[in-house]
Structure 1
Amino acid sequence: MAAIETTELTRRFGEVTALSGLSLSVEDGALFGLLGPNGSGKTTTIELLTGQREPTSGSATVVGHDPVAEPMAVKRAIGILPEREDPPSFLTPREYLTFVGEVRAIDEVDERIESWAERLEFAGVLDALSTGLSEGERQRVMLAAAFLHDPDLVFIDEPLVNLDPIMQEQVKAVLADYCERGNTLFLSTHYVDVAAELCTHVGIVEGGELVAECDPREMSEDELLDYFIAEVGGDAAAGVTPAEGRP
C-alpha cells in the first residue's frame, strides 16, 4: 500500500514553475528521500503534500487523504518538520511541546515529552526559554514535536541541519528505528551522503521535475553521486556533495 501517491503534481508561481508533473509512489514503511540541489522543487513538494499549498494542477493522496480536499485529515495523520523551523522564542521547550500535545490531543503527553527530551538530549534545557537555546537544541525540540503524537508518516526538510556529528548519528538511528516499526518517512535533502546512508528509496529532482528514482542500498555513495551527475549534470551536483562542518 502506498503512503503517498502523486499524479502530474504541478505548482506554478506566476511565470515560474516550481514543480512540474511530479508522479511518484511512496510505499508504507519506506524511508524516501527527495534529493536535489537548492531550488529544485523539494520544499514545494513537501508543502503540497502536507496541505500548506494547493497545486496548480495534478493530484495527490497522503495516507489515503487528498491534501486539497481534506487538509485537516492529512495534518492530523502526519508529522512535519520544515527546514529551519524554530520553537516560539517566548516559550520553553516543555511549554511548546505541551502546546503541541494539546493541539494533537495526546494522552500522557508529559511522559512523551520527557522521553523525547532524553532521547534527543535536550532534557537539560526543557525549562529554559527557547530564545536562549543553540541552533542544534532548537532543531532537536522541533524533531520531538514532529514525532510526539507517534504519526504514521513524517515529513522532514533537511533532517540533520544544525546538528553536531554525534547528534547526527543519534538522529539517524531515530529515523531508522521509526521506519523499522512500519512507519513512513519522507525527507528532502541536498546532501548525497544523507540520502545514501538513510534512505531505502531516492527520487532525484532538478528544475522542478523528477528525473530519476533509485534504490541507494544497491550502490555506494560515490555511485549515487555519479548517478546523480549523469541524470542532472555536473553543475547541478555542486550542491549535493557532503560538506565538512555541515551547518
Structure 2
Amino acid sequence: MVAIETTDLTRRFGDVTALDGLSLSVDEGSLFGLLGPNGSGKTTTIELLTGQREPTSGEARVVGHDPVADPMGVRRAIGILPEREDPPSFLTPREYLTFVGEVREVNDIDGRIEAWADRLDCASVLDALSTGLSEGERQRVMLAAAFLHDPDLVFIDEPLVNLDPIMQEQVKRQLADYCDRGNTLFLSTHYVDVAAELCTHVGIVDDGRLVAECDPREMTEDELLDYFIAEVGGDAAEVRA
C-alpha cells in the first residue's frame, strides 16, 4: 500500500519556485528520507503534504487524504515535528503533552506521556517549565508530542537536531522500531550519514526538483555521499552530521 503519493507537486512564491514538479511514491512501512542541501525544497514539501500550505499546482495523497481538500483529515492521521518547533514556554512538558493528547483524543494520556518520556529520556523534566529546558530536552518533548497518539505516519524535519550523540542513538532506535511495527516515517535532512543509517529509501532534491532516488541499504555511506555530491554538488563537510 502507498502512504504518500505526489504528482507534479509545485509551489511558487512569486518568482521563486520552491518545489518544481515533485512526483514520488512512499510505501507504507518505509522510512523515507528526503535528502538535499539547505534551501532545496524539503521543508516546503512537508508543508504541502501536511496541509500547511497549498500547492501552486499538482496533486498529493497522504494516507488516503487530499491535503488541499481535506487538510484536517491529513492532520488527524499523522504526527509532525517541524524543524525548530518548541513547546510553549509557559507550560511544563507534561501540561503541553496533556493538551496534545486531549486534542488528539488519546486514550490513557498519562500512561502515553510517561511511556514516551521514558523512551526519550525526558521524564525528569516533565514538570519543569519549558522555558528552562535545554534545546535537546525541548526536541525530545516535541518528538514525544509527534508520536503520542500513535499515528500511522509521522513527518519529521531534521530529526536529530540539537540532540547529543547518546540521545541521537536512542532516537534512531525509536524511529526504526516505529517503522518495524508497520508505520511510515517521512523525514527530511541535509546530512548524508543520517539518511544512510536510518532510511530504507531516499529521494534527493536540489533546487526544488527530485533529481534521484536510491536504496541506501544497497550502498555504503561513502557511496551514498559520492552519489549525493554527484547529483547536487557541494562541500562534503556540509552534508555530514
Report the equivalent of 1:239. Answer: 238
* Residues 47/11 of structure 1: CA separation in 2 closer, same or farther (3 Å cut): same
SS at match of 1:144: helix
Q: Residue type of the partner of 2:78? A: I
Report the equivalent of 1:185. Answer: 185
Contact 1:203–1:213 (Cα < 8 Å) also in 2? yes
Q: Residue type of the partner of 1:187? A: L
TM-superposition CA deviations, 1:34-62 (whole Å, max 9, x none): 00000000000000000000000000000
Report the equivalent of 1:163. Answer: 163
TM-superposition CA deviations, 1:152-172 (whole Å, max 9, x none): 000000000000000000000
Report the equivalent of 1:208. Answer: 208
Structure 1, gaps ≥5 residues long: none
Cα drift, residue 230 of structure 1: 1.4
Report the equivalent of 2:104. Answer: 104
Contact 1:80–1:154 (Cα < 8 Å) also in 2? yes
Report the equivalent of 1:223. Answer: 223
* Residues 237/68 of structure 1: CA separation in 2 closer, same or farther (3 Å cut): farther
TM-superposition CA deviations, 1:140-162 (whole Å, max 9, x none): 00000000000000000000000
SS at match of 1:139: helix
Identity %: 86
Report the equivalent of 2:93. Answer: 93
Report the equivalent of 1:40. Answer: 40
Cα drift, residue 239 of structure 1: 2.8
Report the equivalent of 1:151. Answer: 151
Distance 2:14 2:30 in 1: 34
Structure 2, gaps ≥5 residues long: none
Cα drift, residue 229 of structure 1: 1.4
Aligned residues: 241
Cα drift, residue 108 of structure 1: 0.2
SS at match of 1:187: strand
Structural mapping, 1:61-72, within 5 Å: 61-72=61-72
Normalised to the residue count of structure 2, the TM-score between the two structures is 0.99
TM-superposition CA deviations, 1:80-129 (whole Å, max 9, x none): 00001000000000000000001001010000001111111111110000
Structure 1 residue runs of 4 or more that deviate by more than 3 Å after TM superposition = none
Q: Residue type of the partner of 1:239? A: E
Distance 1:236 1:145 in 2: 35
Q: Residue type of the partner of 1:92? A: T
Distance 1:130 1:190 in 2: 28
Structural mapping, 1:10-159, within 5 Å: 10-159=10-159
Distance 1:231 1:136 in 2: 32
Q: Residue type of the partner of 2:7? A: T
Distance 2:116 2:184 in 1: 19
Cα drift, residue 210 of structure 1: 0.2
SS at match of 1:168: helix
Cα drift, residue 237 of structure 1: 5.4
Q: Residue type of the partner of 1:220? A: T
